[in-house]
A and B are shown apart, each in its own frame.
Chain A
Amino acid sequence: MKRVRIPIVYAVCLLFVGLLLAAIPAAESGYQVGDTARDFKLKNVDGKMVSMADYKDAKGFIVTFTCNTCPYSVAYEDRLIELHNKFAPKGYPLIAINPNDTKASPKDSFGDMQKRAKEKKFPFPYLQDESQDITRAYGASRTPHIYVVQKQQDGTYKVAYIGAVDDNSREADKVQKKYAEEAIEELVAGKTISQPTTKAIGCTIKWREA
């Protein structure tokens, strides 16, 4: 009898483990620090396709999921420009990706993106992730959401930092901790990043209705 029972117990246990694994929410999918990030080929506001591989001299990138419509994203536009201007010369240019489905969020249309990029004179590409595949692969959940990646010897991109720009979205002049900037400074200096993940309140990404 016992010989029969043990496998059943095992089977039940396995089933439970399976159920537990299946219950892990989607929010935990996507990249963690240390993972290899995939490259992309997305349309920029100038109509040209952009990939990380296009930048031969870059040491890495500040991949930023942001959009036109989220007040938090808008509040951070000038600070993203500053980040780019500070770190592009050090080998870490910023690439902005708009993750929102334009049906769910019409003001994030390609035309609106072009308009905003022109108004703000973005010095970095502003790409549209029309299929939302890149957003999903990275695991971005809100805007703005930063992924700093570092180019490796073999040409792959390793995720070094995931998180917020800084500690005060509302008032740029009251910022005390520049989370992203500090992380990139450490990365550039070859140091270990002291705070490789941070969190901030932001807008949900507007996913395409299934």
Chain B
Amino acid sequence: MMKLKLFAFALLLSLAATKPAWSQEVEVIKYQDFEKLRQLPHDTLYVVNFWATWCGPCVKELPYFETAHKQYKDQPVKVLLVSMDAVQDLEKRVKTFAKKRGLQSELLLLDEPDGNTFIDKVDPKWTGAIPATIMFNNKRNTYYFLEGEMKQEQLEQLIQQYKP
């Protein structure tokens, strides 16, 4: 009986952990929060895509990141979609967009209106144009940066190459 209860509890926990699409949340972060994330020591490949709802090429490539998120769900690969939309547009634009598209990857919104304060810190090669993507695994000292559009095959190949 005890075992069954434990099992039920574990099942409940695991159900709670897999967020269904409709409950997708967007976490608003500041640059310091991003910096902490950037320093995470885990043996995980973090795939961070900077996008915005108003950015055509970004919206075009989002499905590639969503596919990667689903494909590597059970592996040490974590896809993070960081919206550069203004925080004022969180409810009306970002959440609506995420819901409409049924986005499943972890969603963040970087609330930093002045790009000049953080763009160079993310990567000096970044001129500020989006989309931009960084990939890193601090445990293995791997790092990749791309400003501009990502092709689906390119993303697939990069993850294959860098994943632990």
Contacts and interface: CB of A to CB of B under 8 A. Distances in A.
Nearest to A74: B54
Interface stretch (B7-15, B21-29, B73-81, B126-134): B126-134
A205 B129 contact: yes
Contacts of B56: 69, 203
Contacts of A168: 113-114
Contact of A141 (B55, B120, B127): B127
Nearest to A204: B129
Interface in A186-209: 198-205
Given A164-B116, A170-B86, A199 B54 contact: no
B148 interface: yes
Given A27-B125, A202-B129, A167 B116 contact: yes
A28 interface: yes
B116 A198 contact: yes
A107 to B, nearest CB: 10
B115 A199 contact: yes
Contacts of B84: 201
Interface residues of B, number: 25
A65 B146 CA distance: 22
Say what secondary structure dominates the interface of chain B.
loop
A71 interface: yes
Contacts of A125: none
B62 to A, nearest CB: 15
A204 B131 CA distance: 7
B114 A204 contact: no
A24 to B, nearest CB: 9
Contacts of B117: 167
B151 to A, nearest CB: 13
Interface in B75-120: 84, 86, 88, 113-117, 119-120
A138 B88 CA distance: 34
A25 interface: yes
A84 interface: no
A158 interface: no
A170 B129 contact: no
11 contacts: A25-B147, A27-B125, A27-B127, A164-B115, A199-B119, A199-B120, A200-B115, A201-B130, A203-B129, A204-B57, A204-B130
Closest 8 CB pairs of A and B: A142-B129, A167-B114, A170-B86, A199-B119, A200-B115, A141-B127, A71-B54, A204-B129
